[in-house]
Amino acid sequence: MLNAVQALNEPGTRDELGIGTVRDAISNLLFPGTSTIQTRARYFLLVPWCHLRVEAKLRQKRTRDPATIRDWIRSEEVSLIHPLSHSSDTDGVIGASSGKSVQRLPGSVYWQGLKRWGIRLFEGSQDAYARHLAENGPPISAHSQDEEACSAAMANWHGGLPDLPKDYPKNLSMALTQTEARYLKDRVRETVPGTLLAYLIDRPDVPFGDMAFPWDLLSDDHVSPGRLKDELMHASNFSLLTHGARLLYDCMLAKRAASELPGGWHEQIEQSEKHFHDWAGVVIERRDSLAEWDRRRDEFWDYVAKDNPRLAETNRTRQFIDQWFDLVLQSTQPRDLLLNAVAQDLIRKREEALKKNLARLVNRRALELWSGNLGADQLTFRWETVKTLLRDIHEGIAEEQGHARAAG
């Protein structure tokens, strides 16, 4: 069981205070179809191509064993590793370091996103997909002369998918071709219109590359007043305020380690307190805008409930967040929360409610397994991943436009 505590130290998995449901709701509303473990945009095409090749194989070699089909799919996805790892652009290649022993394949990383962008038409899980093919066989080939058969040819995948490269899978790279980039752009515009993702995919002129947070778009008026601006303000304020709770948790953890464990913990205490004081300074600077936003807190909860309806009603997660917001926004000096007994009790009880006897703030053995890393980074709602996906698509389309200018 204590392995679960160790896992919480892994990058990208830390959610010590259980705010992940709200974080994910905001991420899904701003950037639907994305996830933090996605790496490059071309996998939105490579994964369907792997599955289509398996469907084609099934037309030649029928099997009713789902395990065999899963093995074929794995083999197709593993076959991508070598050519991608030896291309001129190896950033984000899944399995580049582990090779054939890779545990997390691209299909598992992109499966949900493929559905959200309307590329995957099959409704079920990956296992359900393999069982479906075993029980029903693959869709009839698109090359069939039967009109009715042709209409069902792409039943599992969007009919507009670009064709596989002629020499596939040789000479693959992460760069999108002109056709592929425009296809992905059109999928986003059609399936998630009105979102920040769809807005940015149409705006290659926006210099988002150096922006640390998506709400940095507001500073140069890249986003006009309206719904998207409100959504970014919700994301920004939620990120800032909850960051303080996570920083306080780090401070409490470092101090408890210093009092109960051997070794020097002075550096962790000093660093965590500095981070908390810096955070409190930002809250003071934004006090007026935060107070105005707080008067619309119900509007914020209505917003996140669009993705997760459970958040429309008061539950333990919402109650914890509201209590923390109240402490911060009603405090004349947020930095004083560092020593506030009510604030510390709130954090302690929240961790204990989530982890029971594995909570580090109450369990010495769990504390001993702590690496000492603080790492409470402010939430960005998948922004780094999104920037990479957008850059891939924009560069593919820019290549098309460059060719057009040259031809003219």
Question: Which residue blocks in 162-226 are alpha helix, DSSP H?
Answer: 178-191, 196-201
Under the banding of pLDDT at 50, 70 and 90, the label for residue 314 is confident
Tell me whether the omega of the peptide bond preceding residue 169 falls within 30 degrees of 0, making it cis. Answer: yes
Q: What is the pLDDT of residue 14?
A: 73
CA 164 – CA 148 distance, rounded (Å): 24
pLDDT at 224: 74
| Residue 86 pLDDT grade (very low, low, confident, very high; cuts 50, 70, 90) | very high
CB 227 within 8 A of CB 299: no
Per-residue pLDDT at 57: 95
Between CA 66 and CA 72 the distance in angstroms is 10
Tokens for 86, please give them: 């030896």
For the stretch 134-190, pLDDT in tens is: 999 998 765 444 444 444 445 899 999 999 999 999 999 999 999 999 999 999 999
Angle at CA of residue 116, ends 112 and 118, nearest 5°: 115
pLDDT at position 402 over 50: no
Residue 219 has pLDDT above 90, yes or no: no
CA angle 371, 351, 338 (to 5 degrees): 80
CB 74 within 8 A of CB 101: no
**Range 206-245 burial, b when 16+ CB lie within 10 A, else e:** bebeebebbbbbbeeebbeeeebebbbbbbbbbbbbbbbb
Average pLDDT over every residue of 289-305:
96
In angstroms, how far is CA 31 from the centroid of its own chain?
8
Q: How far apart are CA 187 and CA 198, in angstroms?
A: 10
Mean pLDDT of 338-360: 96
